[in-house]
Chain A
């Protein structure tokens, strides 16, 4: 008997566990969109070259297009649909909405998931390619515009909303600090 090319898996997404059978070829992105109906996560390139499919996996941002669904079993996935607290928007979503941090909106779910993680990564002391001195005893860097731009660079936006997105991430970052 040839080895099976399909798998029964359970995926934990936005706090809910889903049991499904997937073609091993199905990516996490397609499983979210086609099997679970969570179409907020977008397919912009399907090759890790645009960031539109960014989700949080175990709290860390990750492209979902290059991850196989079968390999994602065991991860705790949060998609754009799970970022808000019920009807209450996350501070990042609120800032994108009010500061017009988007135009067509297609890259927006990925930008927002990424931004939520960027704020956490920065708070955890992660350096970036914009950080002049990466040594651990160097002065911590503020999450200024240059840091936000570098850290958000994996999320392309063709409408050119970058300027407003950077402002939105900065505002949400300040608010997150205040409310945390």
Chain B
């Protein structure tokens, strides 16, 4: 394998741009790394959730007394005795009723927590939760989302966005692709189930949690429980994956309630089924994409119309149209979203929200357009490369999608591809290749950081960042080392503690850009302070930064990471089996800080994308609303055997809007994967797959053996 990265990158000045193993690597390979449920506490009690079993209704009774009489049971928290919560609390600053647990007798959807049983041991708590009899008055529930649902509406959070006259361009275009694409409910399924420990100690609420941003969680917790923000301390040293699911989990809210009521440290760890039921999912989407083009494939119109769903208690909008916002130039573009409120749990962000399902639709449609106009799919994309934001008209900070497409095509061997579908066979397998482009937003958000210089020549960096497996801890040390012009061995870093101050969370692919900015600014502040003094006192000298004013002063730009993904698949039409044989992703994602971990994260996103393409589908019963496959044996995520040798690499890119030139990589890597696989399946079989996942059943019922 030729390693493009090493050959085209400028020689690094410092350590940024060179590969470093994870700082916490040794702890992770020896089992010493402690996750939320691993930290021991004196006198710890255990809480176990009880979830609503009805699809909608009202709690009429809770058999508390019988459970209180069980061995080891310390208490049962329910709507009759739970602390009252502040309805204005929410991760985005506005009230999210999803967090309002145990506040009344209403059951808005199946799986809603209705009680917490706390006991001396986890086994006793679980037995109590299993034994707790809750009766309900059931009400008629609306459980099935569909695009033509009578209750659908345009949410204020996702108003129609357009430029030009889409209908006129579509009517005038000589070639039109008009198709519907569907994606199912998908679940994050981080390997670590959500867990929290909460206790009151020395007048503070101390929380050990599994989350993507301890400062934000501590802040929202303080609002939710009407506490002074300084009272709450949240830590999440090691987090076993998040993918968007680890904001404020139900286990945290209930653990805080329990410790407040019972005056004991309480740990609440969700079971895997409870993770499926209570921590949100990617909403299902039903998307209609219409592309109008001239005979050369130049786009005259893109119309991207999405129907999706949310719960009856909180409006979360999955926004696939996001992908259409800035990927291609067209004379006219229109993005519309309609939402339906159903009696199902509130969906939430999941890796590349919007763009992951959106790119499946748009990039599948682009492949259909390539077929219709007889233009190579890579060339089709090159012909529609925008100069400026296609809708906004704003300039891009930097954009190297062309580099991704051309370099990807070169390395994949795309030029040799026979465009005809269904003509390559190897034994029982039909072979095909496909590609797709991807895009995901970049940018920085306000964060604070502090760096202390010690007399022994070492430094301590403190920043409320989170490392949920991204390699953030290591990357931030590399950036700090270069900013301070010292070796990495001179730097110690503290992260994932709300006491370190405000910082953006690990989300939106904006963690590294936001945190590195704060660190470089703090380093500048520190170096200025050090310049004025002769020697460092015993308690050190601290430089600080808050990037809010710097970020507030930025000019508006289109800022995105880009990628192009290429897949080769084998399809056995007689069994329906689809295997991805190889996959290549080339990305333009700003400056790469740590190539070793960046490559892992990119490959990880593509791996999740293959899983999305082939396996993942949350199945619900239409009568009860409950998930029928809410465990890891029923909800299939890719296993080792599903994943071929995946290569990921990058082309030069640099985001001039932040000092490290960084764009995020966590999300762009899953954008386009499913479409690349689906397009390859078409190339193998000649049959389009417009619904995910591309299951055995779909192949068997649509493809001739």
- A–B in direct contact per CB < 8 Å: yes
Task: Tell me the A residues contacting B by CB distance below 8 Å.
Answer: 23, 25-26, 30, 33-34, 37-47, 49-50, 52, 79-81, 83-84, 89, 93, 96-98, 100, 102-109, 112, 130, 145, 148-150, 152-166
6 interchain pairs, CB-CB under 8 A: A100-B21, A100-B600, A105-B238, A153-B640, A153-B641, A158-B190
Pair A104/B31 contact, Cβ less than 8 Å: no
With known contacts A49-B633, A102-B28, A148-B640, A97–B605 Cβ distance under 8 A: no
Looking at the assembled complex, report how far the CB atom of A112 sits from the nearest CB atom of chain B, in whole angstroms.
Answer: 6
Interface stretch among B239-247, B405-413, B414-422? Answer: B239-247
Q: Flag whether B33 is at the interface (Cβ < 8 A).
A: yes
Note all chain B residues with C-beta closer than 8 A to A154: 639
With known contacts A47-B272, A106-B35, A158-B241, A100–B640 Cβ distance under 8 A: no
Task: Identify A100's interface contact among B22, B31, B192, B272, CB under 8 A.
Answer: B22
Q: With A34-B122, A93-B30, A161-B604 given, can you name 20 additional A-B contacts, CB distance below 8 Å?
A: A25-B123, A25-B127, A39-B31, A43-B193, A43-B269, A44-B193, A103-B471, A106-B35, A107-B240, A130-B641, A149-B640, A150-B641, A153-B639, A158-B188, A158-B241, A158-B637, A159-B241, A160-B603, A162-B607, A163-B603
Closest A residue to B469 using CB positions: A104
Task: Identify B29's interface contact among A104, A112, A160, CB under 8 A.
Answer: A112
Pair A37/B271 contact, Cβ less than 8 Å: no
Task: Tell me the B residues contacting A by CB distance below 8 Å.
Answer: 21-22, 24-35, 37-38, 40, 121-124, 127, 188-193, 238-241, 243, 269, 271-272, 468-471, 596-597, 599-601, 603-608, 631-633, 637-641, 643, 645-646
CA distance A18 to B503 in the complex (A): 44
Pair B604/A159 contact, Cβ less than 8 Å: yes
Pair B21/A103 contact, Cβ less than 8 Å: no
**A-B contacts at CB below 8 angstroms, number:** 178
Note all chain A residues with C-beta closer than 8 A to B643: 149, 160, 162-163
CA distance A75 to B211 in the complex (A): 36
Pair B640/A49 contact, Cβ less than 8 Å: no
Note all chain A residues with C-beta closer than 8 A to B25: 97, 102
Note all chain A residues with C-beta closer than 8 A to B127: 25
Pair A100/B596 contact, Cβ less than 8 Å: yes
Pair B123/A30 contact, Cβ less than 8 Å: yes
Pair A45/B29 contact, Cβ less than 8 Å: no
Pair A166/B192 contact, Cβ less than 8 Å: no
Looking at the assembled complex, report how far the CB atom of B5 sits from the nearest CB atom of chain A, in whole angstroms.
Answer: 14
Note all chain B residues with C-beta closer than 8 A to A81: 30-32
Looking at the assembled complex, report how far the CB atom of B649 sits from the nearest CB atom of chain A, in whole angstroms.
Answer: 13
Closest B residue to A167 using CB positions: B645
In the A-B complex, the 7 residue pairs with the closest CB atoms: A40-B31, A160-B607, A106-B240, A104-B469, A160-B604, A105-B28, A80-B31
CA distance A26 to B124 in the complex (A): 10
Looking at the assembled complex, report how far the CB atom of A143 sits from the nearest CB atom of chain B, in whole angstroms.
Answer: 13
Note all chain B residues with C-beta closer than 8 A to A38: 31
CA distance A89 to B631 in the complex (A): 34
Looking at the assembled complex, report how far the CB atom of B598 sits from the nearest CB atom of chain A, in whole angstroms.
Answer: 10
Note all chain A residues with C-beta closer than 8 A to B632: 44-45, 47, 49-50, 156
Note all chain B residues with C-beta closer than 8 A to A109: 31
Note all chain A residues with C-beta closer than 8 A to B24: 105
CA distance A97 to B604 in the complex (A): 17
Note all chain A residues with C-beta closer than 8 A to B604: 103, 159-161
Pair A105/B240 contact, Cβ less than 8 Å: yes
Task: Identify A159's interface contact among B26, B31, B34, B469, CB under 8 A.
Answer: B469
CA distance A106 to B28 in the complex (A): 8
Pair A106/B122 contact, Cβ less than 8 Å: no
Pair B640/A103 contact, Cβ less than 8 Å: no
Closest A residue to B670 using CB positions: A160
Closest A residue to B611 using CB positions: A160
CA distance A96 to B608 in the complex (A): 20
With known contacts A30-B122, A156-B637, A164–B603 Cβ distance under 8 A: yes
Looking at the assembled complex, report how far the CB atom of A160 sits from the nearest CB atom of chain B, in whole angstroms.
Answer: 3
Pair B34/A107 contact, Cβ less than 8 Å: no
CA distance A94 to B604 in the complex (A): 21
Note all chain B residues with C-beta closer than 8 A to A47: 272, 631-633
Pair A105/B33 contact, Cβ less than 8 Å: yes
Pair B32/A52 contact, Cβ less than 8 Å: no
CA distance A41 to B603 in the complex (A): 26
